[in-house]
Structures are given as C-alpha cells and as structure tokens.
Structure 1
Amino acid sequence: MRYFILIILIAIILITPIYALKETTIYLPAVEETDYGDEGILAILTVNIKQGNGHVYVDTWPLTKIDTQVSARTAKKVACDLLYMDCSHYDFFYTIRSDAQIVGGPSGGAAMTIATLASLLDLNITNNVFITGTINLDSSIGPVGGILEKAEAVSKKGKTFLIPYGESIVERKKVRRETIGYITIEKTTPEQINVVDYAKKHWNLTVKEVRTIREAFEYFTGYKIKELRLKFKKTKEYQRVMKKLADELISRATELKKSCIKKLNESTISYNYRDQILKICEDNLEKARDNYNNGNYYASASIAFSKLISYRYGEKLIEFLESDDEKFYLRDYLKNIEENIFGINTSNIELYAIIEERLSEVYEKLDEAWRNYYNENYLQGLHYGSFAEERLYTANLWMKYANEFPSYIENQSEFLKDIANRMISEASSIITYSSLTSSNSYLNSARNLLERARDNYKDGNYYAAIIYSLKSQANAELASEILFKDKDYLLELHRKNALVAINKTKSIIGQSYFEYAQTLEDDNQEASLIYYTYAKKLSKLSEILNKEIEKDMIIPTEYIERISCNYENYYNLTIFISIMIFFAGLLIGKKL
C-alpha cells in the first residue's frame, strides 16, 4: 500500500508546474528578406527579468529593425498592464538570436508579451505552440504579413500556430508557364489560400486565430489571467476636497447670478439685448444644488462652473454694451485677466497637475479671446474672456486646498530630472510604435504634448514635463488602439484600468478625471476615452515619484488560475509523466 502511495506522490510532483526563474525562451516566427523573396524562419527570444528601475534592454544578433526594439518596450508595458502591476522596480532583458541576416518588423510583439508574462509569473510555456502578431497597447493582437511562410517554418518544430484574428485567408501569386513553340510565357495570377486548411494538409500543423494576449496565454501555459471586478469608490479625502469646491462654486454662482440680474434691471440697454441677457442671467442653478445634496460633489461643481461662465458673460455683456468704447472695454478686460495669472508654487505634483491644467485652459481661452478681438468679433471674445476669468478663479481655489492632498505624493527628489527624462523617453517610444500603424488626431495630440514636455524639461520645469509626458503616452496609446477596437470596448477597458490605478493609489486627480470621463460617455466618447486614460496615467504619479512606496510582490496565484488541460498543451508532459511512473513502478517492483 505504501508503495502505491509513493507512486501517486511521484505523479503529483511531476504534474506540478515547473516554474522558470524569471527566464523564458520562446520562438519568434519571422520573415527573412532574401534575394529570392521572403522566407519563413524561427528566431529565438529569451526574456530575463531582474530587480532594477523599469528599463528595457534589447540585444539582437544579427541586425534587427527599430520597430522590433519598440515592440519589446510595448510587450513589457502590456504584460504589466494585464497584471495591473507596477513594473518600475524591474529591468527587462530581451535577447534575440537568429541565423537570418535581418529579423524585421513588429510581428514578434505578441510572442514577446507572452514570454514576458510567463517570466513575471514564473510559468513554463509549452514548446509546441508558436505565435505571430503585433501587440497593441490594449493587449489585442494585430495583423502581420508572411503568415504562410511563417507557418511552414513553424511546422518543422511545433504543433500549433496562433495567428491574428481574421488572417487565416492569405493571398499569394500563382505562376503558370505556357510554352508556345520555342517561347515560354509566365503568367502570374493571385490566389487565395486558407492557411488553416493548407497548413493541416501539407504540414499537419494546427493553425488557430486569436484575438487577444489573454486568449493566447492560455494556449501557452494552461492558465488564464484573472479578470478583476471593481467599483468606483470615492475616498473621503477626495469627497472632502470636492465638497469644498462645490460649496465655493455654488456660493459664487449664486452671488454672481444676483449681480447679473441686478445690473440688468439697472441698465439702459435696448430690449433686444435685455431679453437675451435675462435668459443668461436666470439660467437655473438647481441641478448643481440637487447633485450637491445627493453627495455628487464633482457633478455639482462642474454644473456650477458652467453656470458661472454664463453669469459672468451676462454681467460683462451688460458692462460691454454700456461702455463708451466697446473695443477698449474688451481690451482692458482681457489685459486684467492676464495680469492676475499666477505661478504655481507647490511641491505636490498632483496638485501641480490640477492647477497647471486649469492655467493652460486660461491661456487657451485668452488666445481665442484675443483672436476674436483682433477680428472684431467682440461678443465672442467677451465670452472666451468670461470663461478664462472663471477658470482662473478655480485654479486659485485649488491652491487653497494644498493641505487636503496626501503628503505621499509630494516630491522634492534630486532624481526628478531623471524621472522626467524617463517619462519623455517612454512617450517617444509609444509614439514611435503607434506611428507604425496609425495617423490620427490622437497621434497628433500625443506629439504636441510631447513637445510641450520637452520644452518644459529644457526649462527645468520637471513636474510639467512629467505631466505632459503622461498625457502624451495616453494619446499615443489610443492612437493605435482606436484602429482595431470599437469605442464601447475601449471605454470598458480603460474604465477598468483607471479603476485599478485609482483603487490602488487613492489619487485625487485620478478620481476627478474618472468622474469627468463618466459624465462624457453618452455625449462624447472620444473625450471620455481620453479622460479615463488620463485617470489611469496620472493616478500613478505617486508610484512614479516615490521610490519608498511599497512595490508589488508577484504572487502568481493572485493573477492566474488553471484552465482544464488540453492535449495540445500537455502532450509531451503527459508522456514524460507516464514514462517516469512506469520506471518508478519497475524500481519498486524489484525491491518487492
């Protein structure tokens, strides 16, 4: 009986997964550029992860194209994001070896991501499964070329080949030769090939389409990455700040509304203008109060702010129409706003980010106001000026709340310059990767924000450089994602990612961006996407700046769960276990 138990114990030990020590090797199906056309090859990628500072190192031989290096950085980012993990305390080493002269293109991105995940989680991957595909920043697998050539190369070593969804039908040129007398004529016609059927018939290779890294990860490891179920829970600190803000804005709006109506009643302007201005001055403030009473302080503050702009515009419109010189009135009004703009003086980067964003909006609205002034569109210029004045007021309000912000996001570190430089580098890398497949307004915004980050870095404004870099990263990520996914999917994805970051850091700016994104979902999905992504990015300011903050400990069982075994993944392991049990039985039998 005890020998039987011993055999069972041996079997259990052998079945238990063998964990790699943060090193994973995986094949990269690639295409070699030869004089005779493209040829499928298998390069070898090794991933090592060690304690470090979030750097990515790529070592290739022979040569590699720049987009392969960018793919490595993207693979690291996607893997860490999938696990909702801060990887800033690890260095990632990607080593690629190949017999080909040049391994080109970003098609190894999916394999790099799988290997990175396996290393982070100390999991073995099967050597019977291969994958090709670019990696998108939302963890979806993007299209590649050379599917048929890669499949032939894979068939020599593997049993299963994973390809991007929708890429099982490829087109190749079919050459036919016809001989007429002494002349041979070659005719080339395109033909469509079903890679799934073709590979099975000619090479006994199973080809499967996959949409995401999550799906591919299961084929390689027999595990699936757990999904998180999260709710938005506003912190007491955040609610306290927003309650104060809503209080002040409602109070100011109430007084300004009274002032607007009083000035209108005392004015001598014509009835044509009077009726229009009365509608502006009597704009209802009850919705702001209702939200306040229900504890929705952010919504209350936002509504009150929009009413403030209306009341301010109504009041200034009365003064403008009663002035002796309307042009000079507008000029003096705009100059007065400019004279009251202040510099930001805080060591708290999150507060800095909030105020800086509002001051940027002040400058933006003033630019529009002056443009309309010089084009003699005075009423429009007056409206932009009213917006700028009230936005400047809210920037001042936030300065009053400096003591409300948690001290853990204060940073006066001598390493601030290095952090800013790293954020700029990461933004540049993401833009480079996204520009390979996209060109849209998100990418343009990313480039503009990156330039602002670099300008601030040169001027020594490292806080601003970090903030603009993070916003640049957010736009660059969306630039590539928007091509392959519908907006509803992306909204859900970035809403969840933002919640993970907010729940972890309790960031005030993250919570405010999140609430703002929620208000935009129905009317402006693109803006909502941006602010969900900003919420995620800027919620991590504390992790980026504070080296003493507690880092993530990797406990695999927190991130993954086993799926039912399948024959393809565990074929070799099953044979190995059977053989070992057989020999164990023989040895024990001899002793008996």
Structure 2
Amino acid sequence: MFRQALLVFLLAMALTLPLFQGETFNYTYVRTIVIHAPAVTSSGGGVLTNITLTIAYPGIGRVYFSALPLTELDTQAAARVAAWVAASLSGVNFYDYDYFVSMEANAPVVGGPSASGLMTVGFLSLFFNTSLKPYATMTGMINPDGSIGPVGGIKEKLDAARSMGFTLFLIPYGQRYYTYPIVNETVTPFGIIRRITYATIDLVEYGRKIGVDVIEVKTAREAFQYLTGYSIACPPSGRIILPEGVVNLLNNITLKILNETSRNIDETQGSLQYISGNTLYYSYVTEILSNARAYSNNATHYLGLGLDIIANSYAFRSLVYSTYSLWLTRILSGRISVDDVVREVNDTVNSASNLFGRVNPFKLSYFSLEAYIDNLASYYDSLILFYTALNSTSLTSQLSTLAYAYVEASLLPDWMNLVSIVSGGPPVNKSVVGRQALTLYSLASTTVPYAETLASETGLSVDSLTLAGDYYSAAQQALNLNDTLALIGLSIYASAYSSLALHQMFSQGQAITADLVKTIGEEAYCLLSRTNFSSIMAQIYYEYGLEALNASSLNEALAAFSMSILYSQAVQQTGVSALGEITPFTHTPAPTTLPSTITTSIPQPSPGTYTSTTPGIPVVTALIISLIALISLVIGILLLLRGSRSTR
C-alpha cells in the first residue's frame, strides 16, 4: 500500500510539473471557499477532508490540484468535471476562469471522485457569491451531465460527518438502501478467525437515529438548493418544435428503413425451409425475426403518434435484427459465407468514410457542424464495431455486430443530408472547437474508467457500459488520429452512456425511474433555454428524450437527455451563454432564515477589483525541479515493476 501511495505521488508530481515552469498569474478577480467533504481512506475508514476551492479571472480553463498527503488520480480528474459543470450551470464560460483545488485530509491516501459533487456546489457558490450552510455536507460523484452519480462507503462517510457535527447529509439518488460489510472476529487457540458478513440499512432511518437529516439528490442543482438555500432559476420545461426539414428527413429515413426491413423479413421467412432440419438455429432465427417484427410494429405505431425520433430508433433496431436474421439464414443454407458478409460491411464502411472528405466542416454554420460531428461519431462507431466483429469467435455474436455496423454505415449518406438542411447558430471558431474537444474527452476519461472500475468491483454489468466503452475506445482512436470533430461527438456519447450505466448499476437493483429521467430532462431544457437553443443537436436529443419518456423507454430517454446537456454545454463555451440566476429555496427543517428577496446574478469581474500576481519560477529552479521529477518518475516505475515481479 505504501508503495502504491508513493507511486501515485511520484506520478502526480511528474504530471503536474509543467504547470510550474515559468507560469505567471495576473488575476483581477479571485474568490475562495473552504468546504468539508466526508471521504473514505484507502483502508476503508471514514474521514473528513478540508477542500479549498478558488476561481480566478481572467483564466484559460486551467484546473490546478494540490493534495496533502495524497489522493488517487480519479479524485484529481473529477475536479475538472466539477469545475466544468459549475461553469455550465452558472452560465459562465469555463475558459474565462482558472480553478484551484487544495485538499487536505488526516489520512495517508484519499481516493475516488465522491467529493466532486460537493466541489461542484462549492464552485457554484463562488460564481453566485453564496455560502454553504455550516451544518450541511454531501457525498456523490458529479457526472458531466450534472447528475449525481453513485459512490461507495456512504455509511462510513455519514458517520464521519455526524462526528464533526453535521446534521444535513446529501447522498446520490438511488443509494438510500446501502449494503456494507461487517467484520466478525473470533479468537481461537490457533489464532483469530475473521468472517465478513453484509448488512443492508436504510440510510435515511439510520441518519434519523443519529441526528442527521439524510436526503437523496439527483443533480448538482438540487444539491446546491439544499446546501446553500438558493435555487438556480430555470424555466418550466416543454416541447421543442424542430425545423420542418429535420422532421421530414427523419420520417423519410424511417420509412426507407421500414421498407427494407419488410423485404428482409419476407426473404428470411421464405428461406427458413432451408434450415428447418437444424432445430436449434431454426428456433433462433425465428426468434430474431419476431424481434424484428416487434420493433417494426413499434416504429409504425409511434410514427402514427407523431413521435418521429423514437419511431426512427425502433425502425433502426428492426433493420439490424432483420439484416442479422437474413445473413444468418443465407449462411446456414450455404448461399453465402461469413467472408462475403465481411466484404459487404467493409465496402459499406469504407464508402461512408468518403462522405466526410467532401465537406469543409469549418466553413459550415454551427448547426451544420454539429450534424457533421454527430454523423462522424456514427461512422467511427461503425468502424469500431466492424473491427470488434472481426475479432469475435462466435458466429452469432460476429454477425449481429456486423449487422449493426452495416446498418449504421449504410444510413450515413441519408443522415449527412442533415448537414445541408440545418443552418444557424454561433460563429464557428476552429481553436474554440479544438479546445472543446479536449475538454469533452477529459470528461469522458473520468466517467468511463470509473464506471468500468465500479462494474468490475461490484460484479455488475449493463449494456450501456459496453456502449460507453466502445465510444470511448473510438474517441481514443480519434485523439490518436488528431480528428478533433470526431473526438467531440464520441466523447459526448461516451460520457452520456457511462452516466446511464452508473445510474443503472446503482438503482437499488431496480430499473431507472421515471422521476430521475424527468429531472435530467428538466436539466436539459433548462440549459437549452439559457443558451437560447443555440445547439440543433441538443434540441434533437432533447426531443428524442421526451419521446422516449412518453414511450416508457427510460434508458433511451436518460441517455438522450444527457447528450442534449453535453451538446448544450459545448455550445455554451462558444460565447452564447446567458448568466444564471438564483432565488431563495427553503428546506424544512433547515435551521436557517433566508431573506425574502435577493438580487440574483453572477457578479462580473471588473479590472482592479482584486489583483494577485505570482511570479514565474526562475529557469534554473524549474530545471532542477524537472530533474527531480524525472528521477522520481523513474524510481516510481521501478518500484511498481519490482512490486509486480514480487507478486508473480
């Protein structure tokens, strides 16, 4: 454990060193707040950490992190997500400020992103010039879409908060009933026998017994209400009328898909006689056909109700299933080989790649650029699925994955028409777009690995996490290829599906609730309206979320709302942001009295208000520190390798 802690320190020192080489900070506006977050140490005990948060203007979106003694790297990464979400909710440009996080704890190593929800509220309080209630704190991970994600060690954190006098404790929605380990020791003549059993408690009832009001919260905006006594104002959510050209394109693609699905189903049904001797595969193909018909019928039903986007979603799935069943039947009857299918998919994916070379994306309007980005993300996804299928050893798994890749790529020529149909939005700035791409990728780099780690530790697995991992892998490929635009779309998809996966895995063993989905939908509309509906993809995904919610497809709805939020956050950083406002919020039985009225806007930095200048480190000193960091990094790697050899 000591060796791991030392390695984290050495790596962190080497990674953060460039920040100190010749940096000069000239700020005209600085605000600081100290928050107190319960945490769990590497040994599993509860501890209270003191976190000092600072925002400084003017900045360029840098997030500096300092820890004493040590934190794990995911804690540091989560601080950037907290700053990003707080800037989005408050309506300021993330890149106009620099952010400083200093964490101190009476423990050797504090790990995990569980303090990031509280960090978000802390940054919000700095932007809105409010303070946190001295008797209140929280635990919970902040997701890029502003939702509060699940964390571990909640009972230990609750106990730590109570021991320090806190009487209001916020926890992530869905984690009220908490399962924790109990270690039982029995002393025998031959030594101590330890047995671990597990108990589940109601944290709300447990909190009441020890004098703490425990409340579940879904979003950072809700947490801000309880911890400060103020609400971030948002208009009531409602429907969005998409441009007529978008709706017509959508419906034309849906009808085209349904016609092709019908042809596939008819041909497969007529070919079943050739595989009737193979009872197992005959039943299997029949089941796939049944699924294709069900999805096709649902698509037709929702199309008739005017739910155009959810109809298209069901139609897409009907085509995947019908294509899969058709290929499988042809292969089993000996009319084609798997290699024939691979060649057809390969040609289709390659043909789709040529679509993007015909357009200069940085000469498009912002709306058109967003459509281009979303299509480019779909192309990368089809490419990743194609290579995934090639590595599959199962015929059914390989064919189903190839069918998905094929359908996705084959529809891209139709979807690319969206680029020419939509227009409007803010001006396109290539440097701003590049900055957005790296920031969105950093958000995905926090949530996806964390979700995968939790899934590994808990033994839980959901399809959305597999999707998130696929999109994240594609984003890494786009980063390696320096494909900025694909990086934006893929990072948004990866973050949205990892957030969905986290909510699915920790919904108390139940499905995602409509209450949670509605709340995230309200967040999506709030951000859309405050950015003056300046993102066409945010509008489309928000409407998709509403339709999916009406169709009781809650997982789809949550993912769509998350993507809407992330697209709005991206456009917000181009300069279209509108400042947020706050109004009084009373929580009973909070022992405070709030003012009846308050003027609500974020104070704007004015030159001369505050000046803080930190001289740059001299070159000689920087070189010495660089040498020390390099030696530290080498020592850390050697220690890790030595530890690995010892283990084996």
- Normalising to structure 1: TM-score of the pair? 0.65
Secondary structure at the aligned position of 1:569 is classed as coil
2:536 pairs, out of 493, 504, 508, with 508
Counterpart residue identity of residue 114, structure 1: V
| Corresponding residue to 2:169 among 156, 162, 174 | 162
> Equivalent residue for 2:375?
355
**Match in the other structure for 1:559:** 582
Q: Distance in 2 between matches of 1:196 and 1:306?
A: 42
State how far apart, in whole Å, the 2-side matches of 1:532 and 1:422 are: 20
* Alpha-carbon displacement from aligned partner over 1:454-493 (angstroms, at most 9, x marks no partner): 2212212111122112222223323333344450133223
- 1:400 maps to a residue whose letter is N
Closer, same or farther: CA 167–317 of 1 in aligned 2, 3 Å? closer
Cα pair distance change 1:255/1:226, threshold 3 Å = closer
Cα offset, 1:230, TM superposition:
0.3
CA distance in 1 between partners of 2:571 and 2:61 (Å): 15
Contact in 2 for aligned 1:147/1:170 (Cα 8 Å): no
> What stretches of structure 1 of length at least 5 have no aligned partner?
1-19, 178-184, 574-592
Indicate how the Cα distance of structure 1 residues 145 and 406 shifts in structure 2: closer, same or farther if over 3 A, else same.
Answer: same
RMSD: 5.8
205-214 or 113-122, larger mean C-alpha shift: 205-214
Kindly indicate whether residue 224 of structure 2 is the aligned counterpart of residue 207 of structure 1.
no
- Give yes or no for the alignment of 1:475 onto 2:504: no
Q: Distance between the aligned counterparts of 2:294 and 2:186, measured in 1?
A: 77
Match of 2:523 in 1: 497
Residues 61-80 of structure 1 correspond to what in structure 2 (within 5 A)?
A: 61-77=68-84, 79-80=86-87
2:512 matched to 1:487?
yes
CA contact (8 A) 2:74 2:446 kept: no
Listed one character per residue, the Cα deviations across residues 30-84 of structure 1 (whole Å, up to 9, x for unaligned) are 67899xx968566353433534343322233444443442443344355456657
2:471 is the alignment partner of 1:454: no
Instruction: Find the aligned partners of 1:437 and 1:311 in 2 and give their Cα distance.
Output: 35
Q: Who is 2:139 aligned against?
A: 133
- Aligned residue for 1:119? 126
Return closer, same or farther for 1:243/1:172 CA change in 2, 3 Å cut-off. closer
CA–CA distance in structure 1, aligned partners of residues 109 and 324 of structure 2:
62
Match of 2:62 in 1: 55
The 1:363–1:209 alpha-carbon spacing in structure 2 relative to 1, beyond 3 Å, is closer
Name the structure, 1 or 2, with higher relative contact order (CA <8 Å, separation 6+).
Answer: 2
Whole-Å separation in 2 of the counterparts to 1:315 and 1:244? 27
Aligned residue number for residue 569 of structure 1: 592
Match among 537, 560, 582 for residue 531 of structure 1: 560
Alignment of 1:292-303 (within 5 A): 297-298=308-309
Does the CA contact (< 8 Å) of 2:382 and 2:405 recur in 1? yes
- How high is the sequence identity, in percent, across the aligned residues? 18
- Could you say if the C-alpha distance between residues 55 and 484 of structure 1 is closer, same or farther in structure 2, counting changes exceeding 3 Å? farther
Match of 2:33 in 1: 24
Local SS of the residue matching 2:120: helix
2:156 pairs with 1:145 = yes
Q: Is the 8 A contact 2:150 2:506 kept in 1?
A: no
Classify 1:29/1:342 alpha carbon distance in 2 versus 1 (closer, same or farther; 3 Å).
closer
Q: CA deviation at 1:104?
A: 2.1
Larger radius of gyration: 1
Q: Is the 8 A contact 2:254 2:312 kept in 1?
A: yes
CA 303–57 in structure 1, closer or farther in 2 if over 3 Å, else same: closer
Instruction: Choose from 83, 107, 110 the match for 1:104.
Output: 110
Deviations 1:270-290 (A, max 9, x none): 9968xx99x99x999999899
Q: Show the 5 A alignment for 1:26-41.
A: 26-28=35-37
What is the DSSP-based 3-state SS (H/G/I as helix, E as strand, rest coil) of the residue aligned with 1:500?
Answer: helix
Q: What SS does the corresponding residue of 2:212 show, helix, strand or coil?
A: strand
Question: Which residue matches 2:21?
Answer: none
Task: Give the direction of change, closer, same or farther, for the CA distance of 1:493–1:196 in structure 2 (3 Å limit).
Answer: closer
1:6 counterpart residue number: none
**Distance of aligned partners of 1:466 and 1:102 in 2 relative to their CA distance in 1, 3 Å threshold:** same
Instruction: Call closer, same or farther: CA 1:113–1:144 in 2, change over 3 Å.
Output: farther
The alpha-carbon distance between structure 1 residues 59 and 246, as it changes in their structure 2 partners (threshold 3 A), is same
SS of the aligned residue for 1:60 comes to strand
**Paired amino acid for 1:209:** V
Paired with 1:364 and 1:314, the residues of 2 have a C-alpha distance of: 22
Which deviations, in whole Å up to 9, do the C-alpha atoms of 1:149-174 show, x marking residues without a partner? 5533x24xxx7453647599999999
Are residues 284 and 492 of structure 1, via their aligned partners in 2, closer, same or farther at CA, if it must alter by over 3 Å?
Answer: closer
How many residues matched?
A: 512
> 8 Å contact 1:134–1:144 — kept in the other structure?
no
Give the counterpart of 1:232 among 239, 244, 259: 239
Deviation at 1:240, TM superposition (A): 1.4
Partner of 2:572: 543
Question: Do the aligned partners of 2:376 and 2:485 also contact (CA within 8 Å) in 1?
Answer: no
Counterpart CA distance in 2 for 1:218 and 1:535 is 23
232, 235, 248: which one pairs with 1:243? Answer: 248
Q: Does the residue aligned with 2:101 lie in a helix, a strand or coil?
A: strand
Q: What SS is found at the alignment partner of 1:96?
A: strand
Distance change (3 Å), C-alpha of 1:53 and 1:235: farther
| Range moving further from structure 2, 451-460 or 485-494 | 485-494
Deviation at 1:568, TM superposition (A): 3.3
Q: Distance in 1 between matches of 2:382 and 2:184?
A: 63
Match of 2:439 among 415, 418, 422: 422
